[in-house]
């Protein structure tokens, strides 16, 4: 996406599922280069630092935003880290 097209990025928060305390929230991950004109879906892969989290239950919330101030709905999922 070149020229006047907005820049696109994703954000995510990882929170402790039991107390809703944020445990990890990186800066915006830019994904503009993966977007294709006319396709509202942008496939991306990123690494979550689960090796740095203690045993417990977590939720991840992820959303996208662009430089034109558009924000996607938040998507979420739960996961557990066991010993």
Q: What is the pLDDT of residue 71?
A: 95
d(CA 42, CA 60): 19
pTM, rounded to two decimals: 0.80
Between CA 63 and CA 13 the distance in angstroms is 9
Give residue 1's pLDDT. 40
Judge whether 81 and 40 are in contact, CB under 8 Å.
Answer: no
Q: Read off the tokens for 77.
A: 């999922």
CB 45 within 8 A of CB 6: no
Q: What is the structure's pLDDT at 2?
A: 47
């Amino acid at each position: 996406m070149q020229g006047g097209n907005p820049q696109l990025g994703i954000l995510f928060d990882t929170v402790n599922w039991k107390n809703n305390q944020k445990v990890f929230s990186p800066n915006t991950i830019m994904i503009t280069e993966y977007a294709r004109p006319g396709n509202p879906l942008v496939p991306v892969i990123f690494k979550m630092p689960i090796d740095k989290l203690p045993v417990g239950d977590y939720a991840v919330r992820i959303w996208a935003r662009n430089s034109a101030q558009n924000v996607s709905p938040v998507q979420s999922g739960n996961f557990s880290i066991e010993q």
